[in-house]
Amino acid sequence: MNQELLLAHRGVDCLQAWRRGVLTAVLFLAWAGTAAAAQGSLQDVYKDAEQLAATPAGREQAIAGYQTLIETHLKNEALFDAALPRLARCYLEAGKGEEGIRFFENLGAKMFAKRGYTFRDVMNQFGVKYPEHVKAAWDRMTASARREDQRMAASRRGTLATEAVPVQELVTAILQRNDADPREKALARLRMMLAAESPDASKKQGLATLHAAITAKFGRQPFRALVMPLLRAQDPDLRALALRCLPGLDATIGDLALVLPLVADPVPEVRVEVGPALLGIGQGKEPEKVIPALTTLLRDSERSVVERTLSCLEGRYSSPEFDEILIEVAKHDREYHGWVICSALSPMRRKSPAVCRRLVEELSDPDSNRSGRAAWGLTFGIPEEAKPLVEDGLLKALPEETNDYTRENELRALREVGTEKSRSYLQSVIDSPSETDKFRQLAREVLASLDRRP
């Protein structure tokens, strides 16, 4: 049976078993070189290395074992990531979209913190046909990931105060749309919880309730006035929760003055919330103030701060210096790589030549989540001076591309930057009997746009 179909039928356990088997086989064939050793597991390799490391004579072998284990794991992460979108496609083609959504929701609950960008793009494949199911699954997945982030952060501090529990009856009353009276009563009670004279515990629960109901329609200004002073609260949980709520309260660009100093807050759980607040309030404005703050956050010693900041950039801010920082982050840290490509560089409305070059390089990534996102990013915002570079990169990538989503975006990008240099490739697509109607039509459209240029 095809590997992806096998995974689709057997779920998470089979995915883990399959991945474990691939890793084990590669590792033992490379290291031990015997068929018998290939029946072991990575845990066995680790234990063997541990035993070797315990004696002076075995330490060189232990070093080789540890290094091979780590290098093999990193190589097979790409294989694992590549399997996810293919598995999603198999679910859809088998008519089992809802089952696929449940599978990825369960898997995402375990791995979202490290691969949030991957799960977002995979879930988007289901979104066209199952938008409501995907939204519900995504909300549950992100909520679960947020709780896990809070739990891990709290374990470092020895407290779980930031995970304040919303008052569910108030949330329900505020979100419902049938009766204004219970909503107004709930909002009045919420204002009392956030009042200056209320105890900190009440304010924390009030902020958690406000955040849970922030999508409802109600007057923001009374709550903004109550939340703003909490940015200076002595309790770091109040500062963190206030930052989380602020972008949804119609905060103005002037409110950045209170948020910016918090990039130096001594508590990591507060700094984690600063990036989303800056981006939600700034919306691309005041770059001379926001970009230095974002740069500080990207150099933070806490990985959770860097990841959260990267994940919400959405291409809103750009400068030559900031672009170079993002590109360097992607080059030197594998865990940040996907966030930078998907959330920072690809969505930029106006891309520098350096960003274009980095996205072109990403087209060769075998992970279609990243290469596809990079190709999408090249469909807009390309400056004139970068168009020849992008055209050359697309013409090199297109003949090798096997993922339909990535290839479609590469052709759409070519429509924006193509010159006569692209004509022969486009005509070959149109003339090829092995091409699908979809791609022949896309090539015709790109060729027609080329013909219309003066």
The Cα 293–Cα 275 span in angstroms is 8
Query: What token pair was written down for 160?
Result: 């779980």
Give me the pLDDT at residue 39, please: 37
Half-sphere exposure of 202 (CA within 13 A, CB side): 12
- The model's pTM: 0.64
Q: Above 80 in pLDDT, residue 323?
A: yes
Q: Above 50 in pLDDT, residue 337?
A: yes
The Cα 362–Cα 407 span in angstroms is 13
pLDDT digits (tens, 9 = 90+) for 25-39: 333 333 333 333 333
Select the highest-mean-pLDDT range: 63-67, 71-75, 297-301.
Answer: 297-301
CA quadruple 364, 365, 371, 374: dihedral sign: negative
Reduce the DSSP state of residue 379 to 3 states and report it.
coil
Q: Above 80 in pLDDT, residue 119?
A: no
pLDDT class for 163, splitting at 50, 70, 90?
low
Assess contact for 319 and 291: CB atoms under 8 A: yes
State residue 55 phi and psi, 5-degree precision: -125, 140
Give me the pLDDT at residue 116, please: 63
Assess contact for 89 and 95: CB atoms under 8 A: no
pLDDT class for 414, splitting at 50, 70, 90?
very high
How many CB atoms lie under 10 A from the CB of residue 85? 22
Give the list of residues 6+ apart from residue 107 with CB closer than 8 angstroms, or none. Answer: 12, 15, 119
What the chain holds in terms of domains, given with CATH numbers, is 3-157 (no CATH), 321-454 (1.25.10.10)
Assess contact for 79 and 62: CB atoms under 8 A: no
Amino acid, single-letter form, for residue 420: E
Cα angle 396, 400, 403 (rounded to 5 degrees) comes to 120
Give me the pLDDT at residue 25, please: 35
More confident residue, 177 or 53: 177
Q: Which residue is it, tokens 């990841």?
A: 307
Give me the pLDDT at residue 68, please: 79
What average pLDDT does range 136-165 have in this prediction?
Answer: 59
pLDDT class for 84, splitting at 50, 70, 90?
confident
Give me the pLDDT at residue 151, please: 52
Measured CA to CA in angstroms, residue 256 lies from 194, 221, 314, 446 at distances of 21, 16, 18, 44
DSSP, residue by residue, 340-368 = IIIIIITT-SS--HHHHHHHHHHTT-S-H
The Cα 374–Cα 396 span in angstroms is 15
Q: Which residue is it, tokens 């958690």?
A: 208
Give me the pLDDT at residue 41, please: 61
Query: What token pair was written down for 127?
Result: 């979104």
Q: Which residue is it, tokens 């938008």?
A: 131
Half-sphere exposure of 63 (CA within 13 A, CB side): 4
User: Beta strands of 158-206 (E only): which ranges?
Assistant: none
